[in-house]
Structure 1
Amino acid sequence: MPRLLGVDIPSNKKIEFALRYIYGIGPTRARALVEELGLDPNMRAHELSEENLNRLMATIAEKKWIVEGDLRREISGNLKRLQAVNCYRGIRHRRGLPVRGQRTQTNARTRKGARRTVGVVRKST
């Protein structure tokens, strides 16, 4: 299993799809990397030589793409900043509600979590 930027990428997948396992590299960037380095798009990740892995890492560094830990840190820092200044988006993040104007009376189950039934508790007589 090849290791690239601290991530084990799956060895049985094509390079373009295996590169997507690196946080910060999606379909467009993965395709651009494969084309720029002139790699065979049908080549599997386990077929990459040490030289190809080094070229991949060098290209990512050369383009100054923020990936993996740095990107995760930057995103979490942005969310913490929004929450610290008590802006609307920060409050929505803190409460776990939709941030971008979606309705919440119905739906929004992904952000709000599973339904919690709120009902009347009756006295036992």
Structure 2
Amino acid sequence: MARIAGIDIPREKRVEIALTYVYGIGLTRSKLILANTGVNPDTRVKDLSDGDVQKLRGATEEFTLEGDLRRKEGMALKRLQDIGCVRGRRHRMSLPVRGQRTRTNARTRRGSRKTVAGRKK
């Protein structure tokens, strides 16, 4: 099994798709890496030579991936919360951040409904 950026990528999949299992590599970046290294995107991971795997490892080292990327994103959110800007406060309160309405919808961000009892007359 090929290990790239500390992740065991699936053996039975095409290299182009298997690279997307690494956090920080999507399909576009995967295609870019394969074009730069000259590895055929249609090759299955199990059919890669050791040289190809080494090329892929070298090409992925220039990107911020996996734990470093997660840490970087977490620090960016923490910075927003620390300075007390609107985006940071919305993140802290688990509300939509980008101006979406919350009177209706926004269930994913706010969680399941909490029923409030109606007033007795």
TM-score (norm 1): 0.88
Could you tell me how far apart the structure 2 residues matched to 1:47 and 1:109 are? Answer: 45
The worse-fitting range, judged by mean Cα deviation, of 68-77 and 29-38 is: 29-38
Q: One-letter code of the match for 2:51?
A: E
Unaligned runs of 5+ in 1: none
Could you tell me how far apart the structure 2 residues matched to 1:2 and 1:117 are? Answer: 50
Pairing 1:104-119 to 2, within 5 Å after superposition: 104-119=102-117
Could you tell me how far apart the structure 2 residues matched to 1:121 and 1:43 are? Answer: 66
TM-score (norm 2): 0.91
Pairing 1:32-111 to 2, within 5 Å after superposition: 32-61=32-61, 64-111=62-109
Could you tell me how far apart the structure 1 residues matched to 2:38 and 2:11 are? Answer: 19
* SS of alignment partner, residue 103 of structure 1: coil
Could you tell me how far apart the structure 2 residues matched to 1:23 and 1:67 are? Answer: 6
Root-mean-square deviation over aligned CA pairs: 1.6
The one-character-per-residue Cα deviations of 1:35-89 (angstroms, maximum 9, x if unpaired) are 222222211112222221111111122xx31111110010000001111111100
Unaligned runs of 5+ in 2: none
Structure 1 residue ranges, 4+ long, deviating more than 2 angstroms after superposition:
none
